[in-house]
Structure 1
Amino acid sequence: MALENSHELENGDGTTKSDQNFLEKEAEEADDEANKGKEIESVEMIFRDTVVPSWKGQLTVRAFVVSAILGVVFSFIVMKLNLTTGIIPSLNVAAGLLGFFFVKTWTKVLEQCGLLKHPFTRQENTVIQTCVVATSGIAFSGGFGSYLFGMSDTIAAQSSDANSPTRDMNIKNPSLSWMIGFLFIVSFIGLCSVVPLRKIMIIDFKLTYPSGTATAHLINSFHTPQGAKLAKKQVTALGKFFSFSFLWSFFQWFFVSEDDCGFENFPTFGLKAYQNMFYFDFSTMYVGVGMICPHLINISLLLGTILSWGIMWPLIEKKEGDWYEAGLTSSNFHGIQGYRVFTAIALILGDGLYNFLKVLGNTSIALYKQLKNKESSRTILPVGPDGKATSEDLATSFDDKCRKQVFLKDRIPTWLAVGGYVAIAAIATTTLPQIFEQLEWYYVLVIYVFAPALAFCNAYGCGLTDWSLASTYGKLAIFVIGAWAGKSQGGVLAGLAACGVMMNIVSTASDLMQDFKTGYMTLASPRSMFVSQVIGTAMGCVIAPCVFWIFYQAFPDMGVQGSEYPAPYALVYRNLAILGVEGFGSLPKHCLSLCYGFFAAAILINGARDTVPKKWARFIPIPMAIAIPFYIQKPFAIDMCLGSLILFIWEKRNEKEAKAFGPAVASGLICGEGLWSVPKSILALVKVNPPICMKFLSKGMNVKVDDFISTLSR
């Protein structure tokens, strides 16, 4: 039941008269049923005496101050993950939990001083979570670890076209000015593309959006009396492990004055295993990431590490001089690096194509069924065996009515969304060719013509599966625009820029719909969700490039394979663009055959996962996760499997405690090491280096070093 008029008079507490009357009436009806002996477990019944602020009342100064602080911290975390492995876990839990902690502490201090004017509500908590995730999300969708950094000379020098005569026209090195301008142009249009569809997605189709729903349950639980107590305990656990992670990272820093020094190069399983990327590098961040990621992801990563560094690369290295020219550097794509990167690309493309077609098919079928059975699917209320509504049904009905009332009240005008899309598209069509000369205006126009349909597909598919295929749509743009432009006309750079345009549109579209779902379940106004997303995106367009620039200036070897921050996906995206304009002719011997095999294997593995019974499917690895260790020279799979093992044992010992505190502990481990990146970068900028190099040598090498030192001392 919707209110058509959104301009009603407000009560002094910020709610409209119709809101208040509606909630009171529904609560009275629910009370009547409860008094008849039926227990009703309704979320909104718990909050029925809590005032829902107006949409403007949910957008507080303190919310955006806290969001800005957390946005900076989370941007450093995402950026570090971007530039090391490219695996970004969901930070929604940490954002919601830390937002609750900061504002709750703030309001408690003001309350004791008698200065508190507005209590902290779950709607305000939702605004903070939305704003923080939008801000840090730009650090990922902005392409600093993928397409955007892939344009640089650093990545081009390691790519398969390193010696190409057209390389110079396909290079654009990072600069704060054009990066910020580019992000402001492309990051907002996705918000306009799906706003008119919010009612269809959330209410008519009842899409679940699992991440948005889980975040809503978390925020709702925080603000109940019992939930507040649990949240305080979770924050305490997060604080303890945050401190441990930060201090441990600080301690490790003293021992890495040179490359290959420190605890992160500890040969846990022996020197031979160390040479083949099998060792624990004492990274608390990746232990935490492993606790958040599903067990199957971590096992798939370990399987990929064993398959590549344990079996394939040692065997292919023995073919040096036969399959590829001897004496090539490890980063040369005509040598071993070509096999590493392009077999990984084949797995990624196979997995991406399969899931794209799968989600597209499921989306089309589900959409057809929902449109065909639209009228018959409108059931009023399920009934129990006796023909009467159960208490659970009544609770659900009450919750749905309350949520629909708020969700449909504060309408976002369709003309605003459509007009905003057209205006931004016109600006982008004019200005993007000024930033990237190789990107013609009609390339941009074509992208914006087709983008709304793809944004809808991604948002709908994400609602069904919680799987965003933004990177897949980005890769599609790389191939289409790159091939259209051609190699001699700067097709590599044009493809990478087109990837950024497309990826930002479809990514922000699905993110916004997730936030709408969270707002729907916490009674946060869609207008406040939209405004907080816009403000968070604007902050991210400034914060993310600045954070990237700090890393870029502090670590001169950033992007170099084998360095501390190799940005592995940047190299993958650039080579995808090269593949799109050049074809397969430049690959080393038998590399193409291996690529075909792994591409087919990815499709077959996914097919097996979808056809075998679920009890067996959960043991079949994920091709995308298998591919990541193929070209990343970091032992993160061991760290993540350790995190997964810790959580597994914890769940066996006390499943309830593990579910309650596992995400908080993991978030603390991630945030602690992630925040250490800030002082570490500052120290590097001011040329303060660690004082000690702790290195591990074999017995024979140690004897040689001792002999050499003794000759110097004579």
Structure 2
Amino acid sequence: MAKNRSTIDREVDNGFDSIDHAVSDEEHNKISYNGSTSMNKLRLKEEEISVERVFQHLLVPSWKNQLTVRAFVVSFFLSVLFSFIVMKLNLTTGIIPSLNVSAGLLGFFFVKTWTKFLEKSNILKQPFTRQENTVIQTCVVASSGIAFSGGFGSYLFGMSEHIARSSSDTSDFKDPKLGWIIAFLFVVSFLGLLSIVPLRKIMIIDFKLTYPSGTATAHLINSFHTPQGAKLAKKQVKELGKFFSLSFLWGFFQWFYTATDSCGFQAFPSLGLKAYQNRFYFDFSAIYIGVGMICPYIINISVLIGGILSWGLMWPLIENKEGHWYKKGLGQSSLLGIQGYRVFIAIAMILGDGLYNFCKVLSHTFFGLYKQYRTKQRENVLPVADQDSSSPPSQLSYDDQRRTQVFVKDQIPTWVAIGGYITIAAISTATLPHIFHQLKWYYILVIYLIAPTLAFCNAYGSGLTDWSLASTYGKLAIFTIGAWAGASHGGVLASLAACGVMMNIVSTASDLMQDFKTGYLTLASPRAMFVSQVIGTSMGCVISPCVFWIFYKAFPDLGTTGSEYPAPYAIVYRNMAILGVEGFSHLPKNCLLLCYILFGAAIVINLIKDLLGKRGRFIPLPMAMAIPFYLGPYFAIDMCVGSLILFVWEKVNKVKADAYGPAVASGLICGDGIWSLPASILALAGVKPPICMKFLSRATNDRVDVFLGN
């Protein structure tokens, strides 16, 4: 248990250390002192760090009682909220922080408030438990996760005619329609859950994989349900609500000044007009300040470095080559001009980083499996990780014994998982070619044959490193199916659809195993967790397309470079598909050479980062650096402002910063994110902002004055 705590993200330590000290003096006096002094000390230490002894007087509800109506009602409304947040981030920068803390905190607050009211009215039938809290968190994350894996900001929107025109390739496209999107998600989103269920005991109990995010969430939920944790959670929710209101009202205020795309505070040249022309400016976005407060410092610095390297150095130098490297007068959006360098160099860095981490996580996976196999051969039993292999099973800690007992109690029959996978795979293989006629049934069959292996690799790698490589496996499908299909047989659309199938399988598999880890540490039934995940995924298959449809209909310029919602990854994924089908023939001059250089640089930077060990944490991340290459560095400045706020706060009062920082950040993200809903409704109703706030240079202003004077 002590070793597990050392691997938890900083979010776990947000003032929730009360668990470790929640055992009363009376309970300490009950400890038996028979045996040696060292054994007594060991038992005393176990008592001090034990979580389950704090809850040992509470009965664990049956798996059916953990699945309450109120839990799913709260989950539904939170799913809508978080789907808007994830969708807005998807369609703007593509950087999505972990929202597990917010989901757990808000789920606790709403149900706790409701049960308090019922308790005072003497009509409370079932108390609120940490198991029910875990069910809510699982359902919300599963639902809002579809907003990411559904590809609304990447492969799915990349199929549209608008993105096809931006890529100068209109031969193959499929515009979004609510009906086929929902049908597509329903036939591909459940296979990942079924493919990994039979391996839950091996991954969680036998291999004892850490799953840092799942572990962090579990400790957070356990903390909420202690008296000290409940008090702190109440204060955190108060802070979240305060900054939610400020962020929402700030979004409402800004709306009045945005009559067109080039108006408003997001067009404020805060660093000067020349810097603004190269997309260096602070756009007063509360959501990215909040994201910056949640993301690690190195992510924010990496994004800023990438913006400076690209928009501060590379693009101005390449623009000077206009007429030599590419034709004049092509404009800023043509892939045969400067835009081609921006898109394909970003793709090269993303692929280099993805390939390195794919090989790294895969090697960790196989090495970990090899060690487990060798240990099993040597001892003829599977060991428990983080424990001396010479220790017999009887010396497991009280917490591990209790959790293992509950985890293996409610089994999910293997035949249900295997039968379900085969059934849904058969339905999917028959259905998908009717949605995408370019995606042949034998492409789908091959994907479903290898998907369980890749889902296991992603889930195992996520347990070791906390990295989900779902998008990397999706890119692998793009290039494989694209090359197989070819340009003459709709390879672009087939490869994007195959990317969606693969991404959904491997993403939901790792998410489910993270949730199983959370449930294991909170004594939530695996059966309840699985049902919650299925219900959450079903919600997401309907909620996420509807949320995307609101954005799609409300903002006609969705996916346009320079607009409020540029959807940068849509054009990136589209051009990856074109690259996989057609090769490099259509790239501008020297673009391929620069792609090779940046591709290699991404691998070398990652290698140096790993070789330096702890000192490598100061090396920037190539994946984060690549994002502003296409989009610009403006959001990086916002994120760095968020980092600066948190840094100063930690210097002034680290305890308060650790306790309330994530709540403040979540409030900023949620408020600005949910403002997207009324903004979309106003746009659909044809209500336009009344004011345009613009900034002009002195020379331009003089010309305007002369024009108006005439």
Q: TM-score range by the shorter chain?
A: over 0.9
Partner of 2:679: 680
The verdict on how the C-alpha distance between 1:660 and 1:29 changes in structure 2, with shifts beyond 3 A counting, is closer
1:700 CA displacement: 1.9
Equivalent residues in 2 for 1:583-622, closer than 5 Å:
583-614=583-614, 616-622=615-621
Partner of 2:383: 378
1:699 CA displacement: 1.7
Partner of 2:185: 183
Quick check: 1:665 aligned with 2:699? no
Query: SS of the counterpart of 2:283?
Result: coil
Partner of 1:346: 348
Equivalent residues in 2 for 1:203-242, closer than 5 Å:
203-242=205-244
Partner of 1:437: 437
The verdict on how the C-alpha distance between 1:222 and 1:582 changes in structure 2, with shifts beyond 3 A counting, is same
Q: Residues of 2 paired with 1:34 and 1:261: CA distance?
A: 74
Q: Residues of 1 paired with 2:603 and 2:355: CA distance?
A: 8
Task: Give yes or no for contact 2:205–2:384 (8 Å, CA) kept in 1.
Answer: no
Query: SS of the counterpart of 1:667?
Result: helix
AA matched with 2:192: G
Q: Residues of 2 paired with 1:380 and 1:468: CA distance?
A: 21
Partner of 2:471: 471
Q: 1:13-44 CA distances to partner (integer Å, 9 max, x unpaired)?
A: xxxxxxxxxxxxxx999943389783512110
Query: SS of the counterpart of 1:618?
Result: helix
1:258 CA displacement: 1.5
Partner of 1:574: 574
Q: Residues of 2 paired with 1:452 and 1:272: CA distance?
A: 52
Partner of 2:141: 133
1:200 corresponds to which of 189, 202, 205: 202
Task: Give yes or no for contact 2:307–2:633 (8 Å, CA) kept in 1.
Answer: no
1:378 CA displacement: 3.5
Partner of 1:630: 629
2:62 corresponds to which of 26, 46, 54: 54
369-378 or 631-640, larger mean C-alpha shift: 369-378
AA matched with 1:619: F
AA matched with 1:318: N
Task: Give yes or no for contact 1:342–1:595 (8 Å, CA) kept in 2.
Answer: yes
> Identity percentage over the alignment?
72
Q: Residues of 1 paired with 2:387 and 2:263: CA distance?
A: 65
The verdict on how the C-alpha distance between 1:556 and 1:34 changes in structure 2, with shifts beyond 3 A counting, is farther
Q: Residues of 1 paired with 2:350 and 2:248: CA distance?
A: 34
Q: Residues of 1 paired with 2:679 and 2:488: CA distance?
A: 42
Q: 1:384-437 CA distances to partner (integer Å, 9 max, x unpaired)?
A: xxx999xxx98x701101100110000000000000110011001101001000
Q: Residues of 2 paired with 1:606 and 1:134: CA distance?
A: 30
1:142 corresponds to which of 146, 150, 159: 150
2:73 corresponds to which of 55, 59, 65: 65
AA matched with 1:92: N
Quick check: 1:529 aligned with 2:534? no
Query: SS of the counterpart of 1:269?
Result: coil
Q: Residues of 2 paired with 1:232 and 1:457: CA distance?
A: 39
Partner of 2:279: 277
Task: Give yes or no for contact 2:482–2:581 (8 Å, CA) kept in 1.
Answer: yes
Task: Give yes or no for contact 1:562–1:633 (8 Å, CA) kept in 2.
Answer: no
Task: Give yes or no for contact 1:185–1:427 (8 Å, CA) kept in 2.
Answer: yes
Task: Give yes or no for contact 1:561–1:633 (8 Å, CA) kept in 2.
Answer: no
1:108 CA displacement: 1.1
1:708 CA displacement: 1.8
AA matched with 1:91: L
Partner of 2:13: none
AA matched with 1:589: K
The verdict on how the C-alpha distance between 1:697 and 1:111 changes in structure 2, with shifts beyond 3 A counting, is same
Query: SS of the counterpart of 1:556?
Result: coil
Partner of 1:121: 129
1:313 corresponds to which of 293, 312, 315: 315
The verdict on how the C-alpha distance between 1:694 and 1:43 changes in structure 2, with shifts beyond 3 A counting, is same
Q: Residues of 1 paired with 2:633 and 2:135: CA distance?
A: 37
Q: Residues of 1 paired with 2:310 and 2:249: CA distance?
A: 34
AA matched with 1:641: C
Q: Residues of 1 paired with 2:137 and 2:412: CA distance?
A: 21
Q: 1:670-695 CA distances to partner (integer Å, 9 max, x unpaired)?
A: 00000000000000000011111111
Q: 1:568-617 CA distances to partner (integer Å, 9 max, x unpaired)?
A: 10100010000001000100000000000000000100010011241x21
AA matched with 1:192: L
Equivalent residues in 2 for 1:447-462, closer than 5 Å:
447-462=447-462
1:381 CA displacement: 11
Task: Give yes or no for contact 1:288–1:665 (8 Å, CA) kept in 2.
Answer: yes
1:701 CA displacement: 1.5
The verdict on how the C-alpha distance between 1:586 and 1:452 changes in structure 2, with shifts beyond 3 A counting, is same
The verdict on how the C-alpha distance between 1:514 and 1:380 changes in structure 2, with shifts beyond 3 A counting, is closer
1:527 CA displacement: 0.4
AA matched with 1:216: A
The verdict on how the C-alpha distance between 1:381 and 1:268 changes in structure 2, with shifts beyond 3 A counting, is closer
Partner of 1:412: 412
Query: SS of the counterpart of 2:675?
Result: helix
Q: Residues of 2 paired with 1:443 and 1:379: CA distance?
A: 40
Gaps of 5+ in 1: 1-26
1:656 CA displacement: 2.0
Gaps of 5+ in 2: 1-25, 35-39
TM-score, scaled relative to structure 2? 0.92
Query: SS of the counterpart of 2:52?
Result: helix
1:499 CA displacement: 0.3
Paired residues in the alignment total: 671
Task: Give yes or no for contact 2:257–2:693 (8 Å, CA) kept in 1.
Answer: yes
TM-score, scaled relative to structure 1? 0.92
Equivalent residues in 2 for 1:367-406, closer than 5 Å:
367-374=369-376, 376=379, 378=383, 397-406=397-406
Query: Which stretches of structure 1, 4 residues or longer, exceed 6 Å deviation after superposition?
Result: 27-30, 34-37, 379-383
AA matched with 1:558: L
1:56 CA displacement: 0.3
AA matched with 2:53: M
Q: Residues of 1 paired with 2:369 and 2:408: CA distance?
A: 22
Q: Residues of 2 paired with 1:232 and 1:28: CA distance?
A: 28
Q: Residues of 2 paired with 1:69 and 1:219: CA distance?
A: 20
1:660 CA displacement: 1.2
2:328 corresponds to which of 326, 329, 332: 326
Equivalent residues in 2 for 1:103-122, closer than 5 Å:
103-122=111-130
AA matched with 2:516: F
1:653 CA displacement: 2.0
1:110 CA displacement: 1.1
Partner of 1:12: none
Q: Residues of 2 paired with 1:30 and 1:180: CA distance?
A: 59
AA matched with 2:628: P
Q: Residues of 2 paired with 1:109 and 1:380: CA distance?
A: 44
Task: Give yes or no for contact 1:63–1:103 (8 Å, CA) kept in 2.
Answer: yes
Q: 1:113-146 CA distances to partner (integer Å, 9 max, x unpaired)?
A: 1111111100000000000001100000000000
Task: Give yes or no for contact 1:262–1:694 (8 Å, CA) kept in 2.
Answer: yes
Q: Residues of 1 paired with 2:655 and 2:693: CA distance?
A: 41
Q: Residues of 1 paired with 2:32 and 2:227: CA distance?
A: 24
Partner of 1:293: 295
AA matched with 1:696: F
The verdict on how the C-alpha distance between 1:556 and 1:388 changes in structure 2, with shifts beyond 3 A counting, is closer
The verdict on how the C-alpha distance between 1:388 and 1:565 changes in structure 2, with shifts beyond 3 A counting, is closer
Q: Residues of 1 paired with 2:632 and 2:334: CA distance?
A: 15
Q: Residues of 1 paired with 2:646 and 2:200: CA distance?
A: 36
2:101 corresponds to which of 68, 93, 106: 93
Query: SS of the counterpart of 1:93?
Result: helix
